[in-house]
Amino acid sequence: MVKESSKTQKIFDRTHKQLIIGAGFVGLGMAWALKAADIPYDQVDASDDVGGNWYHGVYETAHIISSRKITQFTHFPMPDNYPDFPSAQNMRDYLNAFTDYFDLRAQIELNRTVNYVRPVENNLWEVTFADGEQRIYKGVVMCNGHHWCKRFPKFQGEFHGNIIHSKDYKHPDQLRGQRVLVIGGGNSACDLAAEAARVSAKSVLSMRESVWFIPKSFAGVPVADLIKWWMPQWFQRLMAHGIIRLSFGTHENYGLSKPKYRVFDKHPTLNNEVPYYIKHGRIIPKPAVRQLDGWEVEFVDGSREAFDLIVCATGYNVAYPFLPPELQRIEGAVVKCYGGSFFDDYKGLYFIGWGQARGGVGSLIAAYGSLFTRCLKLQDEINVPLGLVFKEIGQQLPKTHLGDPQQIFRQLKLANLLFSWLVKKAHQVDNQYPNFSNNPQLGLIDNGGSLSTSTLHGF
């Protein structure tokens, strides 16, 4: 395959490799899995070090909300001297140790921003980097995370103070002496409201609706560690309700309304401090914001408060900005792919880590990584996308980004047990679609807007 554009752009041949985008928790876990399975790959990250959100995204005082036990990679335990809820620095040290122990760093190219990923001829993928370099890969494993594309609420009115996103918060000095409004009901919002309760002149927490506050530990044990593989979700909910009632009592005790959703129907908020500081008058709970008015904020209940700083802990968008419009298949926080990773009409493009399970990512990625590499090897045996195989055997597209980790573990174990059956079905589906090919019309377009050919250079 030869390409000669008007600028004689070289395209480097990586057609024997996968490309992993991202070197955070998920990307490093997948790199380990591919290396263990002897699958050739390159890995790139836009940052200047590994660690993803734990390196460039979290605030200095952050600690994990899931326990050390379920957050760690099962094949690489965290040090014994780590606390049950390791700090951000602990996590950075751990991920660097993981990278070095399994000799992953040599394959990682830092400060490498991906600008565009598109399908080209022969079911391959062209990757264009910010510096203009282009490469052709067998496939692209996207682990670019979901804690970077900031989501802001739409406000009415104007505010004279500062408005930042929780991702822009790094140190308590940003809150010190300020009148602070934190918007949101998730884990970051509660952490920041509690931080403001300690150092600011005023801490107000605005939530559109009440959330279930689950304590991080119960009877000296991390709550996440109390949930076992055999527990169905209804039992987990029952147990969570008991723990909440024994730890905090009722929402009415804190001047809050009862949540309108079931426990675990939304990503859980694990926090002991917000109820504590509400009882001490250091956090003032408020409903949703109605409008901004100079230094004041009016809430939907008609009350008004003056602030210097608004922190929007309002989450993130799942985003793959380097994909063409045809491959932007995101509905809300859900990527519409089969098996959690695969399209049914394009092969060689894999979505990893976009969902949010109630629990630590390390144990899940360790379990999923080995199955995923088996799937990659199976994909090499067939011409049709694995997503089409999953679709043909009756799997449905996901409807939520939330997941019960224990159910996921059970599903992964079953998938491994039935993998030989999956191989058989994959070849049957492959025979039904002998002429399948990715649509290459999105790729290999030169600056003049016409399809062109290219020369592949070894690299």
Contact 112, 45 (CB under 8 A): yes
Question: CA geometry: angle at 114 spanning 343 and 453, to 5°?
Answer: 75
**Spatial separation of the C-alpha atoms in residues 432 and 429, rounded to whole Å:** 5
Residue 441 has a pLDDT of 60
**Angle between helical axes of 405-417 and 419-432 (0-180°, round to 10):** 70
Alpha-carbon distance values, 373 to 37, 91, 271, 403 (Å): 7, 26, 36, 21
Alpha-carbon distance values, 406 to 30, 238, 298, 372, 419 (Å): 20, 16, 42, 18, 20
Which is it for strands 108-109 and 114-120: parallel, antiparallel or unpaired?
Answer: unpaired
Contact 429, 388 (CB under 8 A): yes
Those residues whose C-beta lies under 8 Å from the C-beta of residue 316, and which sit 6 or more positions away, are 146, 147, 148, 149, 150, 151, 167
**Spatial separation of the C-alpha atoms in residues 112 and 212, rounded to whole Å:** 40
Residue 442 has a pLDDT of 52
Six-digit token pair at 127?
């990757």
Which is it for strands 162-165 and 309-312: parallel, antiparallel or unpaired?
Answer: parallel
- HSE-CB at 254 with a 13 A cutoff on CA atoms is 30
pLDDT in tens, 145-180: 988 999 999 999 999 999 999 999 999 999 999 999
Sign of the CA dihedral with 231 first, then 233, 237, and 238 last: negative
Contact 308, 178 (CB under 8 A): yes
The answer, as to whether pTM is greater than 0.75, is yes
Tokens 């995370």, residue located: 145
The residue type at 233 = Q
Helix spans in 16-112 (H): 25-36, 53-56, 68-71, 88-101
pLDDT < 50 stretches in the chain = 1-6, 443-459
Q: Hey, is 452 helix, strand or coil? A: coil
Helices and strands (DSSP H and E) totals, the chain:
12, 25
Chain centre to alpha carbon of residue 389: 25
Six-digit token pair at 326?
């045809």
Contact 136, 13 (CB under 8 A): yes
Residue 8 has a pLDDT of 52
Residue of 269, 257, 266, 265 lying closest to 300 (CA atoms)? 257
Q: Give phi and psi for 122, each to the nearest 5.
A: 65, 30
Six-digit token pair at 110?
């830092």
Contact 457, 4 (CB under 8 A): no
